[in-house]
Amino acid sequence: MDDDLQTDSDEDLFRNPVYYEPAGRNLDLDRPDLGVPQGQDLLNVLLRMRGRVPVEKRGLICPDCRDLRGRRVPMYIVQRDGVLLASHYRKPGEKPVSHESDEHLARKERVAKDSEDHGFQADIESPAADGHARLDVRINGADGIVLGYEPQLSPARGIRAREGFRRRGGIRSVWDFADPDHAGIGTVPYVRTPNLPASVIRVQRNPIAVQDGNFVLEEGKCSPSGALTRCPERPYDPENPIHNGYCGGWHRVLVPAHQSSTATGEGSLTLTRFIVEAAAGERIPFQRGGHHGWLLAQQWQQYLEANGPALDDKGRQPSVRQGDRRDRCTEDRPASEVRAVPKQRCGSRAMVLESRPKETEAAKVPVDASGQAIPLCRFGCGQPASLPGPEGLPEHFSCRRKNEA
């Protein structure tokens, strides 16, 4: 009876919100009783419907498809590794259900067209070679580079796991966030761009500025006259931005380009230029202390020379997929009442690679005309005294008078 059912891949299968029509409410798949009276019995019934009752008649539908598109899309429940998952019903050959916003689609179309115009083949909604990931835009770059462009315009969890699938498949991902407080910033190789309407994005002559994710390597003395804008190891005080802003030492840091000493605000990096240079191998993704970003190839080489080779992907812990099936029906839709809001995180920050403390200068010992050291006053004033007193010890006449008084 379910022979015409197109099952979802691991990349598409998430714990989607699911609405049970007879009860008139969403089911909570995190609870054994599904959040409804006699829920345990209902769960057993729903699981036994497999192969017996047509999916359209089981009473399970997608609440987001209903609310956002006005469509009744049947769903069914499966168990994977002891986890309950709700999946959309679709026939073989049909694409997964998508509620991508017009802005999301516009970004994919813009990047694909810009890449093609610069000589790099680009495909929208392209599966990865291993079948574990579906790329929003796949760009075939130079020297075998495969670039995956992934715009993220709404809160979404599971990004690290999805990035893990892409990385292990040899794909360099560019995650594009519009929200400066998006939880994914810094957890994956990313850029941040303005939140623009689709009508503006689709006009190719309109530049889309890269506001974050692009880093530069800087080093120098930590002083007002040095190469660094401020000390990377001291907290920034917005009430007094220049107070105690330097330590006098020396640092080598990775710093967001817009916060660097060379930032001018003119001729800013655009998304088109960034994508083209990344596809050409002129920009390299890096990871430092769990924080991700991008470096120009020349600065990447300087980074490797100063800090050694990057961590081999084989040495990383594999992602636990079971813990990430939580968050979405699709990537661009309102938060469901069944899911918790992810914790926000801000990613623009400098990363210290090496620091040296301020070098203390050796105290200069005063000498006389013959080059001999001048001893200090016997009365403890701390100053050199070149003339001896009656006892033959170095002293100042004023210090003797004070002592005798």
pLDDT tens digits, residue range 27-41? Answer: 888 888 888 888 888
Element (H, E) at 398: helix 397-404
Return all residues near 340 (Cβ < 8 A) that are at least 6 apart: none
SS3 per-residue string spanning 50-104: CCCCCHHHCCEECHHHHHHHCCCCEEEEEEECCEEEEEECCCCCCCCCCCCCHHH
Return all residues near 343 (Cβ < 8 A) that are at least 6 apart: 183
Residue 198 structure tokens = 């689709």
Q: Report the SS3 class of residue 286.
A: strand
Identify the pLDDT of residue 142: 95
Angle, helices 271-279 vs 102-117, to 10°: value is 50
Q: How far is the C-alpha of 404 from the C-alpha of 399, rounded, in Å?
A: 9
Return all residues near 110 (Cβ < 8 A) that are at least 6 apart: 201, 202, 204, 208
Element (H, E) at 274: helix 271-279
Q: What residues of the chain score a pLDDT lower than 50? A: 1, 3, 10-12, 312-315, 317-328, 330-346
Element (H, E) at 222: none
Q: How far is the C-alpha of 288 from the C-alpha of 186, rounded, in Å?
A: 10
Concatenated DSSP letters for 149-209?
EEEE-S--S-HHHHHHHHHHTTEEEEEEES-TT-TTBTTBSEEE-----HHHHT-TTS--B
Please check whether residue 171 is in contact with residue 183, taking contact to mean a CB–CB distance below 8 angstroms: no
For tokens 């798949």, the residue is 29
Identify the pLDDT of residue 342: 44
Q: Report the SS3 class of residue 3.
A: coil
Nearest to 275 by CA among 105, 169, 139, 167: 139
Identify the pLDDT of residue 322: 41
Identify the pLDDT of residue 398: 85
Identify the pLDDT of residue 348: 62
For tokens 């407080």, the residue is 181
Nearest to 381 by CA among 362, 405, 400: 400
CB atoms within 10 A of CB 171: 21
- For residue 241, count CB atoms less than 10 angstroms from its CB and return exposed for 0-12, middle for 13-18, buried for 19 or more: exposed
pLDDT tens digits, residue range 104-135? Answer: 889 999 999 999 999 999 998 877 665 556 78
Please check whether residue 155 is in contact with residue 258, taking contact to mean a CB–CB distance below 8 angstroms: no
CB atoms within 10 A of CB 308: 8
Identify the pLDDT of residue 337: 42
